[in-house]
Amino acid sequence: MGLAFCNLIHDIEHSFDKVATVNEILITIIPKVDNTVYLKQMRPISHCNVSYKSFN
C-alpha cells in the first residue's frame, strides 16, 4: 500500500483533478428498527476512501 499511496501523491502533484477521486464518500442509510417509517429511525454510515482517511 505504501508504494500505491506515494504514487497517488505524485499523481495529485501533477494533476490536481485526482483530488476529486480521493474525496469521494459513499453514504449509506441503515435502518435502526424493523419497519422504518421515519428518517430518524435510520442511521447514516459513511464509507470513506482509505486514501482520504490517510490525508485527514
User: By the 8 A CB rule, do 25 and 52 touch?
Assistant: yes
Q: pTM of the predicted model, to two decimals?
A: 0.47
Domain count within the chain: 1
Residue 28's domain comprises: 2-55
User: Residue 55: which residues within 8 A CB-CB, separation 6 or more?
Assistant: 22
Integer CA distances (angstroms), 52 to 6, 21, 36, 41, in order: 13, 9, 32, 29
> What is the pLDDT, as a whole number, of residue 1?
57
The per-residue pLDDT for range 6-44, each reduced to its tens digit, is: 777 777 787 777 676 677 778 899 999 999 999 899 999
